Amino acid sequence: MAARKGNKYNERWTEVASKKLFDEALTLAKNGAITLTDIANELDVYTDVFEYICNKHKDFSPIKKRILKQIENNTYKGALNGDYIPSIAIFGLKNNHGWKDKTEVEQTVHQTNVIKLGSGEKPK
C-alpha cells in the first residue's frame, strides 16, 4: 500500500538534521577543507545534498554561502603560504569561485555609411 499524500514519516533531511549537517560542514570548512567534496566525503553524504537542502529549506542558503566562502579563503591562503601548488589553487579558484585573470570588455560599434552628393548635377 502506498503512503498517503504528504507523508513526512521517512523524511531524512528535516530542518533539525539539516542544521546539524550544515553546522558540521561549516566547522570542517573552518578547519581547512578546500572543497565541498572533501566536506561531503567526511560527512558521508553526496555533494548534491547541500543544494537539495537549500532548495527545501531556504534558510540554509546563507550558511552554504559561508561554507563556500570559507573554502575559497582556505584555498587562497593555502596558495599564498605555499601549502598548495599555486597553479592548482588558481585553477580551483577560477573554476569554483568565479576568479578571473583579466576582465574582457566586448564592444559593439554601429556605423552607418552616408554618401554626400553635394549640389551638383544628378547622375545620368
Write out the three cell numbers for 17: 538534521
Give domain status of residue 118, yes or no.
no
Give domain status of residue 110, yes or no.
no
Integer Cα distance of 79 and 51 in angstroms: 27
Give domain status of residue 19, yes or no.
yes
Burial class (CB within 10 angstroms; exposed 0-12, middle 13-18, buried 19+) of 35: middle
Give domain status of residue 123, yes or no.
no
Task: Report how many domains make up the chain.
Answer: 1
Expressed as residue numbers, the domain containing 87 is 15-97
Task: Judge if pTM exceeds 0.75.
Answer: no
Give domain status of residue 75, yes or no.
yes
Sorting pLDDT into bands at 50, 70 and 90, what band is 109? confident
Residue 90: pLDDT above 60? yes
3-state secondary structure of 21: helix
Give domain status of residue 122, yes or no.
no
Sorting pLDDT into bands at 50, 70 and 90, what band is 75? very high
Give domain status of residue 112, yes or no.
no
Give domain status of residue 8, yes or no.
no
Q: Are 92 and 34 in contact (CB under 8 A)?
A: yes
Integer Cα distance of 61 and 70 in angstroms: 14
